[in-house]
Amino acid sequence: MAFNSIDSIGNKSGQAINATSTTQNAPLLTRVRAKDPTYGEGEFIYLQGCASTAVGSVVVYKADGTTALATARSKGPVAVAMSASSSTSNYGWYQTQGRAVVKAGTVAAGAAMYATGTAGTVDDAVVAGDEVFGAAYNTADGTPSAGFAEVTLNNAFLGDTDNA
According to the model, what pLDDT value does residue 71 have? 96
According to the model, what pLDDT value does residue 1 have? 63
Residue 111 DSSP symbol: P
- Neighbouring-strand partners of residue 152: 99, 136
Residues listed for the chain = 164
First-to-last C-alpha distance (Å) of the chain: 38
According to the model, what pLDDT value does residue 8 have? 46
What percent of the chain has pLDDT above 90?
86
- Neighbouring-strand partners of residue 123: 114
According to the model, what pLDDT value does residue 68 have? 98
- Give the distance from CA 28 to its chain's centroid: 15
According to the model, what pLDDT value does residue 2 have? 67
Give the model's confidence band at 3: pLDDT under 50 very low, under 70 low, under 90 confident, else very high. low
User: For 44-70, what is each residue's pLDDT tens digit?
Assistant: 999 999 999 999 999 999 999 999 999
Higher pLDDT, 5 or 53: 53
Which residues, 6+ apart, have CB-to-CB distance to 154 below 8 Å?
97, 134, 135
CA dihedral 27, 76, 132, 41 (to 10 degrees): -10
Residue of 67, 132, 47, 56 whose CA lies nearest to 100: 56
Residue 35 reports pLDDT greater than 60: yes
In 143-164, which positions are buried (b, 16+ CB within 10 angstroms) versus exposed (e)? beeeebbbbebeebbbebeeee
According to the model, what pLDDT value does residue 160 have? 79
